[in-house]
Structure 1
Amino acid sequence: MSGPVAAEAARDDVRSPGRPLVAYPVRLAAVVGRRACWQSALCLAVLLGALYVGRRHWSAVRTGAGRLAVADPGWLLVGAVAALGTWAASALAQQGAVTLRLPGSRLLAAQFAASAANHLLPAGLGAGAVNLRFLMRCGLPAGRSAGALAVKAGAGAVARLTLMVLLTLACPGLLRVPHVSPAAFVLGFGAVALLAVLVAGPLWARCHRAVTSLLADIRAVHVCPARATALWGGSFAFAALHCAVVVAVAQAVELPLPPQQTALLYLAASSAAALLPTPGGLGSLDAALAFALTASGAPAATAASAVLGYRLLTVWLPLMPGLLVLTVLMRRKAL
């Protein structure tokens, strides 16, 4: 479940403290249902657009798949090890987001299952639902569980942005910012300011208690140095390991870009793709990353190989085992 959904669910839970806890899943289902309707429509539109683009550039995709088949197996193995590390990093960050000690093996299995569920539902709803059920099974109240998901999502966003800034400062000139005319900047700033004036007041009145509860969760986590270290260490490791997967696959297919530039382009592309609620970024991330690589000077076929290899290691190979683990966890009442 994405951070906004968790925050909205937590707000409902905080705003109605007198209701019994068993009513929380009903309210949560209503929140998820409202968001899933328009997200599914947008997800379908993005996927259709991605299929159209892929059909127009099918020759590059086919050539890229053939190039991936003869890629350096050593670098692909490095990418596979980094992909395995992403689930451990996710488990570490989730442990850091709560003060309660979670069962380590089940926590790791839940993250593996959540990654598979994340590619079946739009905008992280699958992963959020799995993690929410896992935390509640571990004894956390529903509101605290939703708050923990929001804390983890917020830390992940901060870690990704921080890595982008550090790479940009360390390697100036790698990321080209498009030129924006002063008139367009003023117009955009005015539109954002107007929207903030019209929406901020009502939203703040509705979200004030949820934000207060979320800040309390953040303070509680940071009171314990071990939990804070786990939260931020896992969040930074998760983003860095995904960068490592892309860089390893890029080296395997001999992508003619420096590793630090490849990592920076991946972070920028994944951040942009997060605005489109496709399952696991399918279609949106692929198109954004391929465009970023080719715009930076990589051949289209090689860029397609890098994207296909990244998806192979992080989505397609772990998908069926992840769904199997999800089924086992559900049968053992761990979710």
Structure 2
Amino acid sequence: MTAVSLPGRRVPPARRVSLRQVLCLLPLVIVTVVAVRHWPVLADGFGRLRTAEWPWLVAAAAATCLTWVAAACTRQGAVLERLPLLRLLATQFAAGAANHVLPGGLGAGAVNLRFMAGCGVPLARSSAALALYLLAESVSRVALLAVLLLASPGALSLGPLLPTGTVGPLLLAVGAAVLAAAAALVCVRTLRAAAGSFLRTALGEFRSVHARPARAAALWGGSLAFPALQAVVLVLVGRALGVPVPPVHMAVAYLAATAAVALIPTPGGLGSVEAALAVALVAAGAPAAVATAVVLAYRVITVWLPLLPGALTLGALMRWKVI
């Protein structure tokens, strides 16, 4: 028996799902996978928050929100073009979720490159701006750590962080990496030419940005404020859980731990940041159990709570073709 189609009625074609629509859902899938893989840590972290003093936790959440403002200031300071403020802030919020996909900040870098491309910044200059952002953030973090160590020399004992016999191999590994990179630049002509072109573009961007005081102030002010605010979050969480460690010592512990973790990049720093922070807090004088509780609560506030809304923001920005 054959089907008879009624005259005057058209059967709508099947709706095709575009690649962009699939990619918009990808951040939610990634968040689900990450949360399932780290569920014991996540549940333990939320359990620790139940015993904390809430006013300090609210202040820590507010300081966490200010870190995205600081990141937006630094991103704006790294380019000459005026970036749309609200979209820039939303992009920094979404970049935090993207950072849990690729290690070493590559997720946030990719999101910001796409955002700057949508704002009309050429790829060469946006890549130079990204390098300038990373340089300013790294220099500011190390400088802040040095200032705090000079102000409080006994804030941190490096013994637990660098056990006997590890300093030499660490320096050898860093030296070998530098020599390998230099050899690659010397031996590979194409790579050397590309590196030279990028370096010229980056230096030109550096001079152009610093020729405008407002851009230079945004770049270095934001890059200093970002690690300082993150350290403040850790201090506030420590106060909420009653950690018997001076605030300056906790700030030094945070800066030292995150500087060390930068040498071992993982997606979002998951695992490595927790371990380094716990060891650094113990080195600063906190009991091991209390240090673990502080680290778990700190990561819940700075990573896990913003992760789902950050992923939703990332999907929305992709759907609206902002990135």
Task: Check conservation: 1:80, 1:245, Cα contact below 8 A.
Answer: yes
Once residues 196 and 273 of structure 1 are traced to their aligned partners in structure 2, the CA distance between those partners, rounded to angstroms, is 18
Once residues 278 and 180 of structure 2 are traced to their aligned partners in structure 1, the CA distance between those partners, rounded to angstroms, is 37
**Match of residue 198 from structure 2:** 210
1:297 is displaced (CA, Å) by 2.7
Once residues 163 and 200 of structure 1 are traced to their aligned partners in structure 2, the CA distance between those partners, rounded to angstroms, is 29
Q: Which of the pair is proportionally richer in helix?
A: 1
Task: Check conservation: 1:67, 1:302, Cα contact below 8 A.
Answer: no
SS at match of 2:209: helix
Which digits, 9 at most, give the CA deviation of each residue in 1:107-134, with x for residues without a partner? 0000000111112222222111110000
Number of aligned residues: 279
Task: Check conservation: 2:46, 2:300, Cα contact below 8 A.
Answer: no
Alignment partner of 1:313 out of 286, 295, 301? 301
SS at match of 1:251: helix
1:277 is displaced (CA, Å) by 1.9
Task: Check conservation: 1:65, 1:305, Cα contact below 8 A.
Answer: no
Once residues 269 and 180 of structure 1 are traced to their aligned partners in structure 2, the CA distance between those partners, rounded to angstroms, is 14
TM-score by length of 1: 0.76
Alignment partner of 1:144 out of 109, 125, 132? 125
1:189 is displaced (CA, Å) by 6.4
Larger CA deviation: 286-295 vs 162-171:
286-295
Q: 1:221 aligned to 2:215?
A: no
1:294 is displaced (CA, Å) by 1.9
TM-score by length of 2: 0.79
Percent same amino acid among aligned pairs?
A: 50
Q: 1:153 aligned to 2:153?
A: no
**Match of residue 14 from structure 1:** none
Paired amino acid for 2:310: G
Once residues 193 and 81 of structure 1 are traced to their aligned partners in structure 2, the CA distance between those partners, rounded to angstroms, is 41
Once residues 302 and 106 of structure 1 are traced to their aligned partners in structure 2, the CA distance between those partners, rounded to angstroms, is 39
Matches within 5 A, 1:68-217: 68-178=49-159, 199-203=181-185, 205-206=192-193, 207-217=195-205
How well do the aligned residues superpose, as a CA RMSD in angstroms? 2.7
Once residues 97 and 104 of structure 2 are traced to their aligned partners in structure 1, the CA distance between those partners, rounded to angstroms, is 13
Are the structure 2 counterparts of residues 198 and 149 from structure 1 closer, same or farther at C-alpha, using a change threshold of 3 Å? closer
Task: Check conservation: 1:168, 1:174, Cα contact below 8 A.
Answer: yes
SS at match of 2:104: helix
Which digits, 9 at most, give the CA deviation of each residue in 1:148-202, with x for residues without a partner? 11110110000100100000000011122448989x75x8767766765565254
Paired amino acid for 1:112: F
**Match of residue 10 from structure 2:** none
**Match of residue 278 from structure 1:** 266
SS at match of 2:105: helix
Paired amino acid for 1:211: L
In structure 1, stretches of 5+ residues that fail to align are 1-46
Are the structure 2 counterparts of residues 151 and 190 from structure 1 closer, same or farther at C-alpha, using a change threshold of 3 Å? closer
1:217 is displaced (CA, Å) by 1.1
Once residues 286 and 190 of structure 1 are traced to their aligned partners in structure 2, the CA distance between those partners, rounded to angstroms, is 26
Paired amino acid for 1:93: T
1:276 is displaced (CA, Å) by 1.6
